[in-house]
Structure 1
Amino acid sequence: MSARHDGVVHRVLGRVGRACAARPRSVVTAWLLLAAAVVTAVLAYGRPVDNEVALPGSDAQVARDLVDTHLPGDDGASGQVVLHTPRGRLDDASARATVDEVAAAIADLPHVTAVTPPSAEQGTLSGDGRTGYLTVDLDLSPREVDRRLARQVDTAADPARAAGMDTTLGGALAAAADRGDSRVSEVVGLLVAAVVLVLAFGGIVAAGLPIVTALLTLACAVGTVGLAGHLAGVPGVAATLATMIGLGVGIDYALFVVTRHRELLAGGLPVVAAVEQSMAGSGSAVVFAGGTVVIALGGLAVAGVPILTTLAWSTGLTVVVAVAGSVTLLPALLALLGARIDTWRVRRVAAVHDGSAWSRRADRVTAHPWRYATAATLLLGLLAAPALGLRPGQTDGGDAPAGSASRQSFDLLAAGFGPGVNGPLTVVVPLDPPAAGPADPRLAAVRDGLAALPGVASVAPARPSPDGAIAMVRVTPDTAPSDPATADLVATVRDARPGGLTVHVGGVVATKADLTDRIVDRMPSVIALVVGLSTVLLYLAFRAPVVAVKAAVMNLVSIGAAYGALTAVFGWGWGAPLIGLDGPVPIESYVPMMLFALLFGLSMDYEVFLLTAVREAWQRGADNRTAVRTGLAATGRVITSAAFIMVVVFASFVLHDDPVIKMFGLGMAVAIAVDATVVRGFLVPATMALLGRANWWHPGRGGRVPPVG
């Protein structure tokens, strides 16, 4: 990017800031109306979620498409009511009467199309007769099953509880009943963020601006993501992840702008001029920082995994809206407040000066760069070391919180039928010529061939489609869905050719196994693309290739620490009870790749703000070490405050019941904490001090960055 183009970015944002400051009430009103419209739409139409995993081009998707084509009635949602009697059998006369009463009550509920009681013939009654489940067929898609319907079904099962039976929901009904929200995490994160902002700014009014901006933009973004669930499949984790990121970046971006604005006001500038200059400087940094996050998320498109694409656009939308709020809504609020931004002060905050703690740290790091670079590298290597044992997998109901419907049904079914019943494989057999009926000898040969495979607990009779073009066989493994042996069985079945026929394996377990394979295969391409695009963007921002490449390497180091924490806590179970888990939990296969894109983008935020301050000192004529020292001293306090807020926001989501949300929260909290302390506080300034003028080298420039604008 040329100096002229770089200046254009600053000038445009300065003009945007001045325009918003000139009409502050109109801008604020527009944002309020937009937020009100989105929230009203969400309240009226809801936020449906769809946790079904599609994977075009995979064998599991082929199986699913064949079933949808030839057995179209199988696409509705179904749930279960799991029953366990501590005495007798469920098919005894008295127990059967109770079960029939429950089935009749459930059948009368809206959206219920059929209720099938447990029976040995259907394979829904355990061998000892003490555990079974009613199958509840619905005229809804899985994403349309809500908590209200789940509660109605659960209430209809009260006669079974009154008869002394253990009763819980299973399948889609359990997922709906357990569908929680992130309100507790949001409240905890906001409260701590408010305290940190008050301490950073010294006043309640100034501290409130980032929170107000973040909440308004978050309502618009997350509400839009929720409404998108009516048009496309949006998993439940998408809105929670968008909330997590939206709160973090929304507060952080506003924090940087407000900090710069107050400094300019303290220097004697009029309010509108201070708004214009703060937007031209910090506003430009916000746009570049947000751009790196969006670009990093955009790199997930090459993975060819729909769930990652959905998480990428939903989270990216939240970041875009947060940036828009920081460069339009925030300037308007700053103009409305004017000099009153420093009212309601609770403490005095000293400006950065030569005697500050960050100045002293900058002096030590730049005076002894080898010492600090070596120590930081060793520490980061130690934190990242567990990542060598990272093994992606898939979670199941056994990893859900104790007491949840998903966990209770998983445990009851596993005890009564074996762990594999919670993750059956759907084997689809194309038939040419079509089968004439269930007596086709090929169907018996397929069933016998599958039953003989190691790792198979049972095989249900083959079910031909009405046109005879396919047969569907339910295979129950010996092992739980999260057990790697179950994924191995998927591959074994596909290679077996039972009865001499080609088979396709579908179902949740097979789809997630294919998802894991694809992610492992595409991960190097995604990393290369994200690193490459982000490096180019940094080069365009700072026009210094060494700085751009070094920043990319530093971000990889922070991500390594996050992967190490994931492996140690979730893979090995270190400290798992402290975050509400019983022990080790498989790391969901898409989490590492999504974390990589998020963290690479978020880590660039602090890199951009630090390097912007260093470059400004360098452009004013300071030598390299002085520029590094000045930049670190000027940004250390605000970066630390911003990082602490983001760490708390992310860490608060560890309180969520969903293990996958815990993974995202912990991984991002660790990475940001490491990035803002060890990496930005020691490793970056130490390496910049060591590189000297090479930091700003560019062919044909004589070693100095031309002035901006």
Structure 2
Amino acid sequence: MASQRNLAASLGVWSARHRKTALFGWLFAVIALTVLGNLVGQKSLTEADYGTGESGRSARILVEAGITSPAPEIVLVHSDRLTADAPEFKKAVADAIAAVEGTGLAQGIGDPYETGAIGEDKHDALVQFSVKGDPDTAADRIQPVIDALAKAEGAHQDVTFGQYGAATGLKGINDSLGADFTRAEFTAVPVALGILLIVFGALVAAVLPLILAITACVAAMGLLALSSQLVPVDAMTNSVLLLMGLAVGVDYCLFYIRREREERAAGRDKESALRIAAATSGRSVLISGITVAVAMAGMFFSGLTVFEGFAIATIEVVLIAVLGSMTVLPAVMSMLGDRIDAGRIPGLRRTSRARAADRKPGRLLGAVIKAPALFAVLGIAFMLALAAPALSMKTEKLGFDQLLPADNVTAQTAKRIEKVFPGAPAPAQVVFRAADIDAPATTAAIEEFQQRALASGQVRNPIEITVHQDENIAVINAPLAGDGRNATSAKALAELRNDIIPATLAKAPGAEAAVGGDLAFSTDYNSQLKSSVLPVFSFVLGISFLLMLLCFRSPVIAVTAIVLNLMSVAAAYGVMTAVFQKGWGDELVGTTAVGAIESWMPLFVFVVLFGLSMDYHVFVVSRVQEAHGRGADNRTAVAHGIRATAGVVTSAGMIMVAVFAVFGTLSMQAFKQLGVGLAVAVLLDATLVRAVLLPSVMVLLGRSNWWLPGWLKWLPQLSHGEEEAASAPAPRSAAKESPGPDQAGSPDGRLLTNR
């Protein structure tokens, strides 16, 4: 039979024949992207870039007017023993003010004895000030103030100084992100290497996927720096890129190398084995990569710039990883030949008996094939049980003190301030623009706003007003009732927007008023995310269906893939809700439940998991279709596909789980939620879904798996076979493993020749 070619096979053959070109071309591309990326630098999102809705409009008004509000900071002076009227306490407050003023970085320093920022029990006082200069760089310049306060605190035994604000908070986040990123790099790589050593039992074979994955991440970071000039990115984007790059990069190489070694073990010569690996596993990698990239593109429908950055970063690293596995990997494998098994680890050498065991149906698979209905019901029930907590999932934009560990000093300061001075750390910010900010009617409107806001009980003192006369804009900071993010504060924000402002500020001539601030931002952010769920889900599900339909020419298999992937996502949601919202087992991941899931997490986890789950589905079902295309009946083809991929899917799944679990051990709450959610979902997907649910459902569906409506007969026929050249006939040992049209199979998965 004449061989059919596909893109993966053609790239694999070309790379093997032009090894130096492929290898040095890859190295040149990685170095060039890295150098260019470092030259231009990565462009980060500004505060205005994050916004959406009314809070986003308030930020844009300030940006368009060229107004940059200095970063606000707060020093909490606290004593368990002394009260604010004690001389020692007053001296501590004065020293704190002197320390801040002495740095030359502060402006508008407020003495709490003049502003009234003293707690009801008089054990706390707030020294409020702003950081001079650009607020976007304040976090980089706040350290001298921190040091000065630490030095001043040493002179007072019974008084402590705590600092929190826009600059301090951002510095804390950036420091934690940097530490977490470094920890992830130095933990995930050794863990992945350890698993690969167990999988391959050889140092060279284990190191090769890691090298390619790491170089793919390096290249993608350089490319991200270039693309960020057009679409700025969030500080977490590099970590997300590393997470995805290591996971998919190692997996794709693993698929490729395992298939090539499988063919070599079956007696193929190295050229034929590499060609078959390129045409089969290489093709699966290509389809999987495209599916993941397309799924990630769903984030563009969120309407949020931060998601656009995540989408671009993940798409870039996935496509680079696919390109590397389809070009430089075949070139290196061709160079190495059987030397890929060099560096054998004692005790990990896989014997022929072990390889033979791989070809026998496992007990679980045999049981699933014999009783598919029972295992389908049990598997679905278990997944639904895990997903059940998600019915009460609560999402919100986590505050600074929720993102960082509970024992973080700055986070503790923020919690204390919120408790004693509700709303003080994060007041609502009303941006008021009028035709003439100094006009009597405008001034009267501002005064009426103050009176009505305080009378309503929804806004508290001190209300701070900053007037920018040249721009005809007033910025009003109004502390809300409640703690700044609870139901009381949400009610106060709604009344401020819907009643107080329309009755006061909005009546001024040519007036426009928009409410920003942390709670307003969180409210608008969540609203935008909720409105984007339908378009994002519809795009990802629709495009995934079309890709699976095109790949396998079966709407049944496409629908099965979507349903099984949705079950994995639902289970991940359930576990995340149970751990991080309800606190079930939160101590096992080294955290304290914060009572909510980070608002962007569900949408991001859905997109990522849906893309990654397709990796395994394409890889497994491709092997099923290989066997079915060679004449095996449905039951035998399913058993063969599961058995042939069980080892590599389990290995790949364990690597992904290990990488994601590393992120679950980091300090940032967002990383913990992301790592735990992805690790649990991939673990379930690589084991329960692929080993139990997929085979049981495909056996139950029988011939329906391969049903194609007549009006879809025009779909192209894509081969899933070995596609070896006619000049490289299969050896006898391989022929026994590969049924042809004259062969049938037994229900236990063994391939038998008809007599």
Query: What is the TM-score of this pair, normalised by structure 2?
Result: 0.85
Q: Which residue of 2 aligns with 1:153?
A: 145
Shift of 1:689: 0.3
* Equivalent residue letter for 2:55: A
Deviations 1:99-141 (A, max 9, x none): 344224421xxxx474635445556665638432352424335
Alignment deviations for residues 519-563 of structure 1 (CA, whole Å, 9 cap, x no partner): 112212221221011110111111111101111111101000000
3-state SS of the aligned residue for 1:565?
A: helix
Picking from 118, 125, 129, the partner of 1:131 is: 125
Could you tell which deviates more after superposition, 688-697 or 187-196?
187-196
Structure 1 residues 695 and 705, CA gap change in structure 2 (3 angstroms): farther
Structure showing greater Rg: 2
Distance 1:378 1:528, change over 3 A: same
The 1:187/1:126 distance shift into structure 2, 3 A limit, reads same
Aligned to 1:407, which of 391, 394, 411? Answer: 411
What is aligned with 1:18? 13
Q: Distance in 2 between matches of 1:163 and 1:438?
A: 51
Partners of 1:64 and 1:707 in 2: CA distance: 52
Amino acid at match of 1:564: G
Identify the match of residue 649 of structure 2 among 625, 630, 639.
Answer: 639
Partner AA of 2:518 in structure 1: V
Q: Is the 8 A contact 1:114 1:136 kept in 2?
A: yes
Selected match of 1:116 from 104, 109, 113: 109
The answer for the alignment partner of 2:256 in structure 1 is: 257
Q: How far apart in 2 are the matches of 1:126 and 1:707?
A: 72
Alignment match, 1:577: 587
Contact 2:71–2:167, Cα closer than 8 Å, also in 1: yes
Shift of 1:216: 0.9
User: Does 2:264 align with 1:282?
Assistant: no
1:106 aligns with 2:103: yes
2:523 counterpart residue number: 513
Give the alignment of 1:458-469 within 5 angstroms.
458=461, 460-467=463-470, 469=472
Q: Distance in 2 between matches of 1:431 and 1:633?
A: 72
Separation in 2, partners of 1:187, 1:133: 41
Q: CA deviation at 1:488?
A: 3.4
Aligned in 2, Cα 1:616/1:270: closer, same or farther, shift over 3 Å? same
Say whether 1:486 aligns with 2:489: yes
CA distance in 2, matches of 1:252, 1:123: 60
The answer on 1:299 being equivalent to 2:298 is yes
Deviations 1:18-45 (CA, angstroms, capped at 9, x unpaired): 2222333443334334434555566677
Instruction: Please tell me whether the aligned partners of residues 72 and 128 of structure 2 are also in contact (alpha carbons under 8 angstroms).
Output: no
The root-mean-square deviation of aligned C-alpha atoms, in Å, is 3.0
Instruction: Identify the residue that residue 27 of structure 2 maps to in structure 1.
Output: 32
The one-letter code sitting in structure 2 at the alignment partner of 1:680 is R
Amino acid at match of 1:323: V
Cα deviation digits, residues 230-253 of structure 1 (max 9, x gap): 664321221111111111111111
Q: What is the distance in 2 between the residues matched to 1:17 and 1:551?
A: 28
In the alignment, what sits opposite 2:439?
436
Deviation of 1:378 after TM superposition, in Å, equals 0.7
Instruction: Identify the residue that residue 569 of structure 2 maps to in structure 1.
Output: 559
Separation in 2, partners of 1:536, 1:671: 23
Letter in structure 2 aligned against 1:221: A
- The change in CA–CA distance for 1:159 and 1:202 in structure 2 (over 3 A counts) is closer
Q: Partners in 2 of 1:355 and 1:272 — Cα distance? A: 24
Secondary structure in structure 1 of the residue aligned to 2:461: strand
- Give the deviation of 1:405 after TM superposition: 4.7
Change (3 A) 1:104 1:494: closer
Counterpart of 2:750 in structure 1 is none
Is it true that 1:650 corresponds to 2:660 in the alignment?
yes
**Contact 1:81-1:168 at 8 Å conserved across structures:** yes
State which of 401, 409, 422 in structure 2 corresponds to 1:398.
401
The residue number in structure 1 matching 2:678 is: 668
Whole-Å Cα distance in 2 between the matches of residues 707 and 219 of structure 1?
34
Which residue of structure 2 aligns with residue 175 of structure 1?
A: 170
Change (3 A) 1:459 1:65: farther
SS in structure 2 at match of 1:421: coil
Counterpart of 1:364 in structure 2 is: 367
The answer on whether the counterparts of 1:59 and 1:506 sit within 8 Å (CA) in structure 2 is yes
Equivalent-residue separation in structure 1 for 2:153 and 2:14 (angstroms): 65
Q: CA deviation at 1:269?
A: 3.9
Greater shift in the superposed pair: 402-411 or 225-234: 225-234
Query: Does the CA contact (< 8 Å) of 1:429 and 1:470 recur in 2?
Result: yes
1:267-326, Cα deviation, whole Å (9 max, x unpaired): 444444433332221111111111111111111222212222221111221211211221
Which segment drifts farther, 366-375 or 36-45?
A: 36-45
Q: Structure 1 length normalisation: TM-score?
A: 0.90
Specify every segment of 5 or more residues in structure 2 that has no aligned partner in the other structure, as ranges.
Answer: 507-512, 724-755
- Structure 1 residue 375 and structure 2 residue 378: aligned? yes
Aligned partner of 1:591 in structure 2 is: 601
Deviations 1:165-220 (A, max 9, x none): 53344222332244223222333322222222112112121111111111111112
Where do 1:110-259 residues align within 5 Å?
A: 112=105, 114=107, 116-121=109-114, 128=122, 130-142=124-136, 144-145=137-138, 149-164=141-156, 165-170=159-164, 171-179=166-174, 180=176, 181=178, 182-225=181-224, 232-259=231-258
Q: 2:548 aligns with which of 529, 538, 542?
A: 538
Alignment of 1:600-619 (within 5 A): 600-619=610-629
- Report the Cα distance in structure 1 between the residues aligned to 2:110 and 2:43, rounded to whole angstroms: 29
* 1:318 has 2:322 as partner: no
| TM-aligned CA deviation for residue 57 of structure 1 | 5.8
Give the Å deviation of 1:666.
0.8
When residues 155 and 229 of structure 1 are mapped into structure 2, their CA distance, relative to the original with a 3 A threshold, is: farther
Check the 8 A contact 1:221/1:321 in 2, yes or no. Answer: yes
Asked if the contact 1:554/1:679 (under 8 Å) is kept, the reply is yes
CA contact (8 A) 2:192 2:655 kept: yes
Residue identity (%): 30
Q: Distance in 2 between matches of 1:415 and 1:259?
A: 57
The answer (yes or no) to whether the contact 1:81–1:134 under 8 Å persists in 2 is yes
- Quick one: structure 1 residues 187 and 55, their matched pair in 2 at CA, closer, same or farther if it must change by over 3 Å? closer
Counterpart AA for 1:384:
A
| Cα deviation, residue 695, structure 1 | 0.3
Q: Distance in 2 between matches of 1:468 and 1:340?
A: 71
CA distance in 1, matches of 2:527, 2:391: 18
Letter in 2 for 1:62: R
Is the deviation greater in 495-504 or in 115-124? Answer: 115-124
* In 1, Cα distance between equivalents of 2:307 and 2:718: 40
Offset at 1:263? Answer: 1.9
Greater displacement, 81-90 / 516-525: 81-90
Q: Give 1:674 deviation, angstroms.
A: 1.0
Is it true that 1:348 corresponds to 2:355 in the alignment?
Answer: no
Query: 1:355, 1:271 → 2: CA distance?
Result: 21
Residues 117 and 106 from structure 1, CA distance in 2 versus in 1: closer, same or farther, beyond 3 angstroms? farther
User: Could you tell me how far 1:649 is from its partner in structure 2?
Assistant: 0.6
CA–CA distance in structure 2, aligned partners of residues 388 and 96 of structure 1 = 49
Letter in 1 for 2:665: L
Give ranges in structure 1 of 5+ residues lacking alignment: none
1:509 partner letter = L
**SS of alignment partner, residue 398 of structure 2:** coil
